[in-house]
A and B are shown apart, each in its own frame.
Chain A
């Protein structure tokens, strides 16, 4: 912090910072996106000794918060909004980080040295020396007739969750569109809250490509046995309102069937926010293209988390293979990489990507990425409600989906992190702890 204090006191800096009234003085690093990755970037930078002023700017009117609970504990009312807050106000003040809420950046002017000024939709200016984009992704909209009716909702941020919560009390029937993680988590929560929930999935199985077929089938059966009405290969034709009103009352399917619905919740994936990157002339391709050190194509802007398309960090990936990951774990690990870059170090992504999803009493943990597998091993313990699938490529374990089986998850995650293997043949016996058969490959 001492360097920063000196800089702010220097006459040259003061002159440079002379701006029209209402414009904050120039920040050392402007982080656009008060998200999981934005918060982690600020925290990691301070841990590494980065001593310039940081501005963490978000377009929502909330302090930075954790998203995962929005479809689960927060929706069900078992956690308070306060416990979703990442850091106390005192923490940010002590660490010389300014939080800016409710400002949506529409344009960035850039100088050749990477510094510039960000302009918000309210007309404010935010001058910066260096820029980080942690702008995340937005919910993909379902553009069908009736899509703008009152009660047709999405679930991406806190305001979405609050809008959903506000309506839940009066609703009897809910149609969830999209059988991915968000859809199934919210459907399970709403079912637990006593709603009559139907899930429509456009594809032939649940959860798309995020898990293998065995896991998708397991979740289908598990949810159906818990009374959730799941319809695969089914899509909505239009949303209807009674008597030409503005409030949704039902969902008409392609075959003409109408499902009553006082709430329609749409969870059909996200689109990375690349508008600012495009305006800056950065390379964009399914997200903001970054190198192994989280640097965008201009070599100075960092872009991390859901919005970034990066070289696949998993050891053994094909050269040149790229990936965009949407997860808390990635937001954190990618932020650490960017923090090193911003402090002049070059450190590659560490750790194995992992994911979780809690649906009813089903606790899914995923270690690694299963794409390109050529063999699976199932471990099933019906009595204790445990289910795991291990994925292999040429005899090497590359990933696992584990339901209510944390020991399996931990064993695979640790083996992957250490470059070890869990031989498929031995893994097939669910009574054998995976930890005991892990080998140096």
Chain B
């Protein structure tokens, strides 16, 4: 099963097992991981599911499309090179992903 390790801005870690095909955002929200808001439910409209992906995990993820790239310029905490919107990150078999959630999403 794919696993996502969520670290919050204070350093607390929460490990969540997900299902292949689900997004990182869905996995977080369904299990009540704080730090992911996802108002729009994954339709790339709100930029409130921002995560920082640990550098060595970035290559396992699909490349960013223009819309995600633009939305990331509007996040509550400024984007960095390892920023992604977690609604765009799909879990795959055996994936082990480490992400950090920003201090705030809104």
Contact = CB atoms under 8 A, between A and B. Distances in A.
B29 A328 contact: no
A403 to B, nearest CB: 12
B72 to A, nearest CB: 9
A354 B40 CA distance: 11
Give the interface residue-count category, chain A. 35 or more
Given A68-B40, A69-B41, A406 B74 contact: yes
Interface string B51-83: 000000000000000010011011000000000
Interface in A72-90: 72-73, 83-88, 90
Given A69-B43, A329-B39, A43 B32 contact: yes
Contacts of B24: none
B43 A72 contact: yes
B30 A87 contact: yes
Given A356-B40, A406-B70, A365 B31 contact: no
A271 interface: no
A83 B22 contact: yes
A88 B45 CA distance: 24
Interface in A382-413: 404, 406-407, 409-411, 413
A91 B74 contact: no
Contacts of A87: 29-32
Given A406-B67, A406-B71, A68 B41 contact: yes
Given A69-B43, A329-B39, A410-B74, A91 B30 contact: yes
A363 B45 contact: yes
A47 interface: yes
A108 to B, nearest CB: 30
Given A83-B42, A95-B32, A435-B73, 12 more contacts: A47-B34, A69-B43, A72-B43, A87-B29, A91-B32, A328-B40, A354-B46, A356-B43, A356-B45, A363-B45, A406-B73, A407-B70
Interface of B: 22, 26, 29-32, 34, 39-47, 67, 70-71, 73-74, 106
30 contacts: A47-B34, A68-B40, A69-B43, A72-B43, A73-B43, A83-B26, A84-B41, A86-B29, A86-B30, A87-B29, A87-B31, A87-B32, A88-B31, A90-B31, A91-B31, A91-B32, A328-B41, A356-B40, A356-B46, A363-B44, A404-B67, A406-B67, A406-B71, A406-B73, A407-B73, A407-B74, A409-B74, A410-B71, A413-B74, A435-B73
